[in-house]
Amino acid sequence: MKLKIRMVIILLGMVFTTAQATELSTTKVDVYNPKLEYGHKIFVEMNFANNQIIDAGTKAMLTDATILKAEIVYTDFPVGADLSALNNTRITKIKSIFPGLKADHIQWGMIAQTDCPTEVAARNLFHGVVITFLPSPTKGAAMREIELMIKALSGELTASIVTSETEMEYRIVPLEELWHTGDKGVTRTKYINIDEDTVHYVYKSDGPAVKKLYKTEKTIAFESDSGIFKVFKRHPEWSDMMVLCDVTGSMFPYTTQFLSWLQLDNNGSRMKQYVFFNDGDDKTHDEKVIGSTGGIYSERMSEVSKVQELCFKAMLAGSGGDGPENNLEAIIAGLEDCDDCEDIVMIADALAPVKDIELLKQIKRPIKVVLCGSAYGIHISYFELAKATGGSLHTMENDLIDLMDVNQGEEIVLGGQKYIVVGGYLIKVT
């Protein structure tokens, strides 16, 4: 049965650190089918009506990985029953199996399956926990990413888009943006891993039927209307810029977009300083000290080829290793190198927390934050950074500039999507 998301209920008392079932956002679906999911996820299957684990998934996949999100999947049976006590035991159980789920930055949620009119139907559905993570970055992965970036920047990588009517050549679209192509007919995206490559299948709804629209063979991609392009195009007034780029493992498609934008129409003339940061040059978590984590590569240059070299140097030196990043340390270092820069723009991973938010008082310039991969939420630390510095937030779709009067519990619109400020995140309201 086709998965159909019907609604998301946002409870204002949400608390991510304690993750009580009664306080979490709940997405209602007909049926949750793990086989139709994509991305880096493991599925911990539990028994119907209790917290006993049937299958803990491939636990080894989380070794040194960064856990982003955990969702409790259950059935709304008996219909309307209060199952919060049961789901709280599932939360406690899963934390005992995966201690990494106790981290403060993890986003928790609930998925309620509603197509279960009888107990027999309910028992046949998946119950348990879905854990979304970023795999541990490696030197080999960084090398493969750089190879793809070089091919993409040279125009070598393309994807053939085939429909029943036309065949056209397009640059490859990043996975996160397939949901934001503007084509409301695109209803589902799926990919499967084959060795080190990734194959994407994008489907377009055509009445009751579903047909394949196109297939791509790499996750790298950028179009002239992709996120980074759109943000900079909307703001031609930005000049003498210092652009800071997070180059940890989750960010290379967006870094490619930025480097591609630099190549077009003399856009490099709007730049003054480039800062690429990787959260510590492969230091372990225990070796990273707030304010002196390192892994920051800051230079003033005009040749685009030299900018690319600096970016690749930062990528090869380290890839993060843990979720939170040293964004503010990078800003402070960049401002020391370029106090005459006019506009300060940070290209950041929307879900990765700002590790060193305690340094916020040291930043006296407005920071414009370009959020990448915001489809699943935006970490509150970027909202705090932009608001405290008199800066702004930007997604592919739109900008949020007036932040001073936005408080906890209030709705805002960003990227064509409503969010509510709750706990540690900006949470989608749909």
1-12 mean pLDDT = 27
Q: List the single range of 9-13, 32-36, 105-109, 389-393 with lowest mean pLDDT.
A: 9-13
Tokens standing for residue 362: 């040291």
**In the predicted structure, residue 314 carries a pLDDT above the cut 50:** yes
Residues 279 and 322: their CA atoms lie apart, in Å, by 9
Neighbour count for residue 183 (Cβ, 10 Å): 12
Range with the lowest mean pLDDT among 102-116, 199-213, 228-242, 338-352? 199-213
Please give the CATH number for the structural domain made up of 227-406. 3.40.50
Over range 71-95, report the average pLDDT.
93
pLDDT at 162 over 60: no
Looking at residue 221, its pLDDT comes to 41
Q: Which of 146, 162, 164 is nearest to 154 (CA)?
A: 146
Residue type at 208?
Answer: P
Could you state, in order of their start, the residue ranges of all structural domains in the chain? 5-134, 158-216, 227-406
pLDDT band at 305 (very low <50, low <70, confident <90, very high): very high
How is the chain split among helix, strand and coil, in percent rounded to 5?
Answer: 30, 30, 40
Between residues 236 and 425, which one has the greater pLDDT? 236
pTM score: 0.65
Out of 3.40.720, 3.30.1330, 3.30.460, 3.40.50, which CATH number does the structure's domain 5-134 have?
A: 3.30.1330
What letter represents residue 374's amino acid? S
Query: Which two three-digit tokens encode residue 151?
Result: 């091919």
Average pLDDT taken over every residue of the chain:
74
pLDDT in the model for residue 144: 80
Point out which residues pair with 297 in neighbouring strands: 276
Helix (H) or strand (E) holding 109: strand 107-113
Give the confidence band of 377 by pLDDT, cuts at 50, 70, 90. Answer: low
Q: Tell me how crowded residue 215 is: count the other CB atoms within 10 A of its CB.
A: 14
The mean pLDDT of 393-417, rounded to a whole number, is 75
262 and 274 Cβ atoms separated by less than 8 Å:
no
pLDDT higher for 152 or 274? 274
Q: What is the pLDDT of residue 408?
A: 67
pLDDT at residue number 257: 87
Q: Which of 270, 343, 281 is nearest to 307 (CA)?
A: 270
**Integer Cα distance of 232 and 225 in angstroms:** 11
Whether pLDDT at 206 is above 50: no
Looking at the chain, how many residues does it have?
Answer: 430
Which pLDDT band, with edges at 50, 70 and 90, does 164 fall under? very low
Would you say residue 355 has pLDDT above 70? yes
DSSP for residue 57: -
Residue 56 in this model has a pLDDT that exceeds 90: no
Share of the chain above pLDDT 70, in %: 67
> 363-373 pLDDT, tens per residue?
999 999 999 87
**CB-hemisphere CA count at 13 Å for 377?**
23
The angle, 0 to 180 degrees and rounded to 10, between the axes of the packed helices 304-317 and 139-153 is 160
**Highest mean predicted confidence (pLDDT) among 94-103, 214-223, 341-350:** 341-350
Chain-centre distance for alpha carbon 365: 26
DSSP annotation of 325 reads B
Range in 85-99, 188-202, 255-269 with the lowest mean pLDDT: 188-202
Question: 191 falls in which pLDDT band (50, 70, 90)?
Answer: very low
Mean pLDDT check: name the lowest of 232-236, 286-290, 302-306, 316-320.
316-320
